Amino acid sequence: MGTFFLVVFCILIFPLILRFLAINIQVAAIERASGEIGCATLILIAIMVSILIAIFV
């Protein structure tokens, strides 16, 4: 059962996460250019990490 969810996760959700991270990197670059690291970006990254941990544990 866990393997099935892992396969579904890899096929469906992983590309979305990659796209999400790419958007985050662009946002972070824009924020760095304006001279401040946004709280929102850090919160989004923390949420993504906690979701990944919850899925794999």
Residue 37 has pLDDT above 60, yes or no: no
Predicted pLDDT of residue 38:
60
- What the block records as the tokens of 54 is 């919850």
Predicted pLDDT of residue 35:
58
- Give me the residue label for tokens 């469906």: 12
Whole-model pTM: value is 0.38
Task: Give the least confident one: 1-5, 12-16, 18-22, 50-54.
Answer: 1-5
Residue 48 has pLDDT above 70, yes or no: yes
- What the block records as the tokens of 19 is 């796209």
Q: 24-52: string of b/e by CB count within 10 Å (b at 16+)?
A: beeebeeeeeeeeeeeebeebeeeeeeee
